[in-house]
Structure 1
């Protein structure tokens, strides 16, 4: 690693280092040879690699002195040495045996983490249950509220009311960046929790379609910001090796909300004409504990790091990690990488950051990746099932009770099959899960659509339609269900994370609103068979786009992903066709066990064991 000072250090970086007396610290982490924008050699570099031990220890001491952590110098020095050589910590003489035990357990007991981390993940993820519950509340309410308001024949208006939360969420996603900047992750989750309490309850007291529409627009404003912030908060507090499994709890709680929503629909089924009011308003319940419990969670240590609140960041890391040395390691490693990020692309204003997610190649590629997974989720057609499964089953010939029970089955399958992703998303990988599930989802939709062609009096018609919808859902839940929010929350650098995730959620909400708005008319014009076939085609289109343009991110630290998204898109696409596809054919078509796959990414500054463990080439 070069230690020569950069000839053009950015103002942001200078401000970051203005408190450092030993300017060598700044020079140690500003490497003019590091080009995140165009990582043409596909190399992932440890920012601490190559720094001599005396210099590294002096740098750490200077950092602790000016960060108000003088009493933790030895802890941070140990952490920095572990970060510099993560796989060789056993040979670091500064570490005592008590220091090494928690580090060993990171590999042998990777799920053994402090209760504060799991508590924080659970509280944050509970906010996503509201989203799923509202979808299914609207699902059941679709059977009655259009009749009460006299709009049952206006499919566009019914679709507009259902899609209202997504429509207002389009604009609110852009508010997530300044709100996070001002009040932090916890403050944003608290404020948005209020938006999903009072407007949601207000739906029960509306007496015309436009007042119901206003309530849903207000609810959607809060949900747009919440959906942006919760995955960011979760991704910033969990370790890299199980980040996918814990961040996907967002989708797991969405599935739980969907299931509870269908249960709520059945509970209020016999209320009569007022059933839809209870079905819509019941979704406020998860928000009440959120606005209380969120203040018992530690603030995101990376947000505190971004604000240069290093002591607070360390205290937060200590609550989320198993030892002070591990907390110091993660904080100092992230700190060093943030310095390089700020030097490379440190947007200082909202407008500048909004521009840079399209203009800086490394961030533009992350933006592309986030957009791909969000578009793919909507292309899958799952939100249509969430909003309109009752309508679909009614088209299949079932009565109201059968329709609600069939929809409950959809919610149950969606929830149960979300659990495998907790393990597979960090082992099998984000990209592989999508490449496996999308083609299978497509043929399930085609088969289900063809079943609508059976005669209505055929007793097998409804069971077959339900079977293929359930099978489609079972494939969706561990695949494109959890991946988008995990992927979007991790692919952007800290400097552009809020604005980047906000744009990804903006795309998701835009398509969700369009599809929710248009599906009643599509169903009316094309029929169930045509509608299912249309979404099957979109599934296959998503498969092709993912294969060529979506990098794998499993088991990378948030900081290492700078190098992953520094690889030019054309090189990634060329690797898939020229290297990966021929290897796959040799290995799994011709069963050549000696077929060798040349990796795309090459790690520098890591020991061999770490490189093997982290090599994401599939």
Structure 2
């Protein structure tokens, strides 16, 4: 138990030893045990703790909160009771569930989108994602009008009889790459880091409002840019706004970059912090689906705008770059009037908006029953209680003023690299974020029009292909609904990355077909197949994974770094791809990305923990396991089992690294007796020592 004085200092009282032990286990979990945060509490201790929390922080009935806490402590037992059709089931338990509560407990585990209150959050995420995709489509389409800014590139070499020297064309390529990359690079360097102070002072909701406003302003300003230098500066602002909201998601080049960064950090975090843990991936999946939908609609508008007379192509360009104003305005209005703040943000003591009462009110709107809302608010409270205990590598004296608060932000970034639980989350989330760029999807998203043009089609026809590309992304993202939480993040990546490598390789080979019509058809086929394989795997997973991997105390800092990795490499690819493409040729550049897809597969296999169907608080224990232990398990236990199972036909149980004392092996609800015995067999001599090796 602890209280917070006026300066936010943590005061430890009764139960210090138990609390410190739990906190240490969530930072260093050598035994790979996944246990309930309330497992060590006796009935008397639980009642005393609930009473203290209710009186100090919540305006709720203590008996109702205690009832919810008892359900949280024995969640699997009450889940079994809820599923038992017998009216006498659970009659001897401390809590007698009502029919409505039984139905709600079953549905939250079995049915995606079972919580009616979550639809406001999902619509918010969808609007932010649609804006992201629309901006990408506007970048893609406007790149075909680079000559409006005097950027003669290699692409125009064969069609421009008056083209200058190769050196001059090379400068044009670099300029075009810089303009396209600027929102991403500045979002990574400035927008994502800004997400930490913006989210701290304004919350997830405030971060999205700032991001939407910046993108709205930058899109309007882009239409009035008269040279590439002005467009470059404007898109920087867009990028910062796009990516500050990924706690809500990302994207225009200084105003444009600012908006991208804020949105890309804030949007996914909001979704992950409000969703039920069993279906968190499905809730955040709205991001990828509506990015694809935004691209598809954006490409459709590009086609409409391209119908302007050839004598007024400047107007076509202006319409394309200004089009994101509409979804930006819609997002701004919806967030301000309809979207709720994240209850977890309001529960953090260091937050300027700290208010457990308001957090509970929001959770009550998001959950179907009072029992679920009280259970969740209490579990978040217990998790934060452990997070905020000082350790050897965390600050025991929280910031007291503005300057100290800013200094605290830098300490948070430093702690990401020093504490095992944080470092493992950073390695994993950055790995999958990097993998998304290594696969080459954003090169196709931003340059598909150029690639299709070089495959032998006209500019307008290349826009039609780009529209089909966006449609494929949307349609083939649909299979990931539900399955991202049942198959899991890892399995989707293991299934789709080999297919992506193959399709990228075949697309590269297809560029060597001599017949123009055949070349266009075959290249288009394999690029669309690549997009189809990408959509349920590397499409939604990076942002989902980043937003769920870090504890609340370091969530903004961790997500900002992971998204910065993603956006930074997206920017670098945009800068260098025109030159890579001109040096290696269209086929050669696709061969390169086919190889990088294989590299991404190996990285994901070795470094990514599975996060499906676990609460954000339980993931502390997953990421607290040594990364070295995880890699050894993958190489020396899982790989041999996989080979024997699928190549030799030996049906043996899949080896598991974790000992799950909450839901049992695989979360299948089997008896906990075997699990408890397994702890002693696993390594009875090993304790939760405070080691620091990774």
Partner of 1:343: 389
Give the distance between the partners of 1:559 and 1:32, measured in 2 at CA. Answer: 12
* 2:377 is the alignment partner of 1:314: no
* 2:37 is the alignment partner of 1:47: yes
Give the distance between the partners of 2:380 and 2:238, measured in 1 at CA. Answer: 35
CA shift digits 1:197-223 (9 cap, x unpaired): 011111111111111112111111111
Partner of 2:249: none
Give the distance between the partners of 2:237 and 2:219, measured in 1 at CA. Answer: 9
Distance 1:196 1:444, change over 3 A: same
Distance 1:537 1:320, change over 3 A: same
**Deviation at 1:13?**
13
Partner of 1:597: 654
Which of 288, 292, 295 is 2:329 aligned to? 288
Partner of 1:129: 130
Partner of 1:569: 627
SS at match of 2:517: coil
Give the distance between the partners of 2:624 and 2:5, measured in 1 at CA. Answer: 21
Distance 1:445 1:104, change over 3 A: closer
Moved more, 51-60 or 544-553: 51-60
Distance 1:108 1:571, change over 3 A: closer
SS at match of 1:343: coil
Which of 612, 615, 618 is 2:668 aligned to? 612
CA shift digits 1:282-311 (9 cap, x unpaired): 012111121111132221010011134211
Give the distance between the partners of 1:190 and 1:255, measured in 2 at CA. Answer: 22
* 2:526 is the alignment partner of 1:468: yes
Partner of 2:51: 61
For structure 2, the residue ranges without an aligned partner over 5 or more in a row are: 82-89, 154-168, 240-257, 399-407, 673-694
* 2:175 is the alignment partner of 1:157: yes
CA shift digits 1:340-364 (9 cap, x unpaired): 1222665541111010001111100
**Deviation at 1:12?**
9.6
Give the distance between the partners of 1:574 and 1:527, measured in 2 at CA. Answer: 40
* 2:457 is the alignment partner of 1:383: no
Do the aligned partners of 2:216 and 2:325 also contact (CA within 8 Å) in 1?
A: yes
Which of 47, 55, 66 is 1:77 aligned to? 66
Give the distance between the partners of 1:289 and 1:524, measured in 2 at CA. Answer: 40
Distance 1:252 1:45, change over 3 A: same
Give the distance between the partners of 2:519 and 2:69, measured in 1 at CA. Answer: 64
CA shift digits 1:439-491 (9 cap, x unpaired): 11111111100111111x34311100000000000000000010000000000
List aligned pairs for 1:185-196, cutoff 5 A: 185-196=204-215
Which of 105, 108, 119 is 1:106 aligned to? 108
Moved more, 127-136 or 315-324: 127-136
Distance 1:608 1:208, change over 3 A: closer
Give the distance between the partners of 2:101 and 2:523, measured in 1 at CA. Answer: 57
Q: Spell out structure 1 runs of 4+ moving beyond 6 A.
A: 9-14
**Deviation at 1:330?**
0.8
RMSD: 2.2
List aligned pairs for 1:282-431, cutoff 5 A: 282-295=323-336, 296-307=338-349, 308-343=354-389, 347=395, 348=398, 349-431=408-490
Do the aligned partners of 2:196 and 2:556 also contact (CA within 8 Å) in 1?
A: yes
Moved more, 27-36 or 353-362: 27-36
**Deviation at 1:151?**
4.1
Distance 1:459 1:268, change over 3 A: same
**Deviation at 1:135?**
1.5
Give the distance between the partners of 2:377 and 2:289, measured in 1 at CA. Answer: 29
CA shift digits 1:542-582 (9 cap, x unpaired): 11111111111111100011111111111111111111111
CA shift digits 1:405-439 (9 cap, x unpaired): 11111111011111111222101110111111111
Q: TM-score, normalised by structure 1?
A: 0.93
Distance 1:175 1:100, change over 3 A: same
Partner of 1:239: 276
**Deviation at 1:45?**
1.7
Which of 533, 538, 542 is 2:591 aligned to? 533
Count of residue pairs the alignment pairs up: 600
Moved more, 301-310 or 503-512: 301-310
**Deviation at 1:609?**
8.3
Do the aligned partners of 2:33 and 2:658 also contact (CA within 8 Å) in 1?
A: yes
Do the aligned partners of 1:445 and 1:535 also contact (CA within 8 Å) in 2?
A: yes
Partner of 1:584: 642
Give the distance between the partners of 2:140 and 2:619, measured in 1 at CA. Answer: 39
**Deviation at 1:379?**
0.2
Which of 277, 296, 299 is 2:318 aligned to? 277
SS at match of 2:34: strand
SS at match of 2:660: strand
For structure 1, the residue ranges without an aligned partner over 5 or more in a row are: none
Do the aligned partners of 1:228 and 1:505 also contact (CA within 8 Å) in 2?
A: yes
SS at match of 1:454: coil
Bigger relative CO (Cα 8 Å, ≥ 6 apart): 1
List aligned pairs for 1:501-540, cutoff 5 A: 501-540=559-598
Do the aligned partners of 1:431 and 1:546 also contact (CA within 8 Å) in 2?
A: yes
Do the aligned partners of 2:76 and 2:669 also contact (CA within 8 Å) in 1?
A: no
Give the distance between the partners of 1:13 and 1:469, measured in 2 at CA. Answer: 59
Give the distance between the partners of 1:184 and 1:407, measured in 2 at CA. Answer: 36
Moved more, 186-195 or 24-33: 24-33
SS at match of 2:37: coil
Partner of 1:226: 263
Do the aligned partners of 2:138 and 2:321 also contact (CA within 8 Å) in 1?
A: yes
Give the distance between the partners of 1:333 and 1:140, measured in 2 at CA. Answer: 48
Partner of 2:692: none
Do the aligned partners of 2:112 and 2:282 also contact (CA within 8 Å) in 1?
A: no
CA shift digits 1:3-47 (9 cap, x unpaired): xx9xxx9999995765x9xx4366653326843333121111211
